[in-house]
Structure 1
Amino acid sequence: MILEHTESSEDRAFLRESIIAMVRKVNPPENLLERAETASAGGTDTELWSALSGDFAAPALAVPEALGGVGATFAEAAVILEELGAALATVPYLSTFVATEVLLAAAGCDISDKWVPRLAAGEVTATVIFDPVLIGDHAFAEQSAPFAAQQTPDGYTLSGTEEFVIDGATADLILIPVRDASGCTLFAVEGKHLRRDPMRTLDPTRPLAVITAENAPAELVGTVGDAGQSMARARDLALLAIGCEQLGQSKTVLNMAVEYARERTQFGRPIGSFQAIQHKLAEVAVAVQSAESAVEHGIWAAAKGTADELSRAAAMVAMACAPAAVLAAGECIQVHGGIGFTWEHPAHLYYRRALSSAGLLGKPQHHAERLLELALS
């Protein structure tokens, strides 16, 4: 397998080159609009996912070797996430990675032992629903929890509804937290027991869904009331993962804008020679460099940091990467001028993804407030 040994920076560079080559082969950039239409209908790029879960063993990255995984770290996953983000790939890697991490935190329980090897092999996919409290949606959280659990003689059933679930329409397993007087309890529900409606959103390249459970049979993950810490870590890892995607998107549109500024001529010279264009590109470059620095710190925190250090790093990633992606995509459109506003040009897809991802797990303002709280605690 390509990912058997990826400890050094040289191996990460080789991994990056391999991922880029494979993505471009399976999904040429000129097919991006076609792929966006497939994703907007709730579909997944099955060919790309087969390649990722086959020779690349991408779903097995964070899984220990004893459970059929590669035993790598978040550093390797970050490379894949960045390049998939750069291509706006419509595969369930991000959602499955986070869900696998949640199940690994409950290692030893039946549900984890049952699903983790299958997730590592790429046989199934999974996603996670986040409690509104964890992502700063306190107004909604104070009214009612999205899901409620009922204990039955045969186990548990869940009822409730949640929107904007990443890859919710196609995931084989969905991890759902329930918040009540006992605390936060995590349940696993197979997708076949849920109503799953694809959503048409601003971003056609990110499959999102409305998940509805009506007395759906559920399996307890861990013990009652003990999922708070594992879900907080899952939120932080999800923020880092989205940040890696946003970094890849930012670099892509920055390069796209720079190349166009070199080629497009006006008044007899490249538009990149005009100071106004140079200022735009320089501002984007500074934002992208700041985002990359935040991501590198996040990679360290995920591998070696404490829970508080990971939370701080995740908040910084959200604060740096989301604005950088929005700025980079917006300025790319401006640099391209009239062609940048057309449907045929991919710039608008990057702008849509940037806007959508910026609020997917809480707005940057929420993460700034959370970072302040962590710094003062």
Structure 2
Amino acid sequence: MKAFVLKDKIKPGTGTAKLYYEEVETPKAGAGEVVVRLKTAALNRRDVFIRQGLYPGIRVPSIPGSDGAGVVAEIGTDVTGVEIGDEVVINPSIGWGENPDYPDANFSVLGVPINGTYAQYIKIPVENVFPKPKHLTWEEAAALPLGGLTAYRAAVTKGKVKAGETVIIPGIGGGVATLALQIASALGAHVYVTSSSDEKINKAMKLGATGGVNYRQDDWVKQLSIISGGADLAIDSIGGETLKDLIHLAKLGSKIVSFGATLGPVNHLLMPRIFFKQLTIMGTTMGNRNEFIGMLNLFNEHKLKPVVSEVYPLEKVEEAHEQMEAGGHFGKIVLEIPQ
């Protein structure tokens, strides 16, 4: 089969490792496994970080890619409930374990060190494949798994979002943030967003956001406080100074859920703002099997569709990565796998 292979580990800050497009051995299904012929895959920021040496547990050679959808092509022994020809999406959360609060020590995310979805075929445990939602295209299906799972755990499991609550999501446009907006809006929350792009704010409002503010304006925090009334829940992938702004915007007894830190560490955090407001600040990432099922059920029930920003052929994956790093996209960047 054809696949992109990461062969080099590099030190952080020294550049970006090349991906090699080459012929590799097609995987065979073992006990409890299936092989899926992939139709589509999708990019995540994790893929870029791995190439830059910014992610733990990198092993080479291995095939990147966490998100994918396709057709079951082979079934191993001891597999039930799945048949050849089934259309499936893949849960990239591998080996979470039994504790819903945090993953086991051997937990991994599909795609480095476990061979991922930048390939024509993938071998995966049968418990990690689920029926593709019928209302989704192949491109939309591939855009859903990692971002949808992360957003669901942040908004529903951790954030416990409720109808009528106010949710603030800074930096709208990325895959997880956009999916979190769709989830919170579908559950009846009033969602407010921020972006450096008025166009992205307008797109977010078409997806269900109640309003938004351009954070390039000096008084954006004040503006957002006025129009939103403050947050019952903030879902943050940015960190840095933005986390302090979210603490300022937080209502008494509210929650902040963090799953990223694109702006880096938080400096000079004023602790009284946290304890006098009785805030709960939680970290989260990925999710377990039951949360993946809950996320799929929510998307099926509300007929939600992930936003696909652009579609590239697999052969142009490095160009797609450059687009992701440029940051102009809204939603997910998807790869079409050659058949």
Category of TM-score, reference length = shorter chain: under 0.3
Q: Which structure has the greater CA radius of gyration?
A: 1
- Compute the TM-score of the two structures, normalised by the length of structure 2: 0.26
Q: Which has the higher helix share?
A: 1
Give the structure with the larger strand fraction.
2
